[in-house]
Amino acid sequence: MVSALSHITFIVRDLDRMEALLTTVLGATKVYDSGDSPHSLARERFFVVGDGLWLAIMEGDPPPARSYNHVAFKIDDSEYEDYRARITARGLELREDRARVLGEGRSLYFYDDDNHLFELHSGTLEERLQRYGQD
């Protein structure tokens, strides 16, 4: 049985550029850098974000095109504008949010330079299910 999410890996062209995004926007902490001695398929770095979520970045060919496939990170609604400022300060492209119903939380969607889509979401699954159940 699956017990939890282990880690998320992003394939990127530029490890330094992605590290800057992870540390300045998500507040991630770097805990490993393979340097020129990778133990996996390519050079990689590991980060911890939030309450211990392990993010890995690996040098390689990223997705060739943008899509709606994304990873969503939980934020507090009171920090929404702070995160918007972090994203725009890095010059990242904010994607238009989808239509929302009141009570399901707010989201900031943004692309990195390698076609990955990130979401910062202020709601919870429980809140969304409760709100959708009202229709």
Q: What is the pTM of this model?
A: 0.88
**Residue 123 pLDDT more than 90?**
no
**Calpha distance 63→78 (Å, rounded):** 33
Domain that holds residue 49: 1-61
Residues with Cβ within 8 Å of residue 32, at least 6 apart in sequence: 44, 45, 46
Domain stop point among 31, 61, 91? 61
Q: What is the pLDDT of residues 92-107, one digit of tens each?
A: 999 877 777 777 788 9
Same domain, 48 and 74: no
Domain final residue, candidates 16, 31, 61: 61
Whole-angstrom Cα distance, residue 92 to residue 120? 14
pLDDT at 134 over 70: no
Same domain, 11 and 73: no
Instruction: Please check whether residues 42 and 67 belong to one and the same domain.
Output: no
- Same domain, yes or no, for 68 and 52? no
Q: How many residues does the chain have?
A: 135
Task: State the CATH number of the domain containing residue 57.
Answer: 3.10.180.10
CB neighbour list of residue 104: distance below 8 Å, 6 or more residues apart: 123, 127, 128, 131, 132
Catalytically annotated residues: 44
Per-position DSSP letters for 72-112, written without gaps between them: EEE--GGGHHHHHHHHHHTTPEEEPPPP--TTS--EEEEE-
Verify that 35 and 67 share a domain, yes or no.
no
Same domain, 97 and 115: yes
Residues 29-74 have pLDDT tens digits of: 999 999 988 888 899 999 999 999 999 999 999 999 999 999 999 9
> Measured in whole angstroms, how far is the alpha carbon of residue 74 from the centre of its chain?
10
Tokens standing for 132? Answer: 């959708």
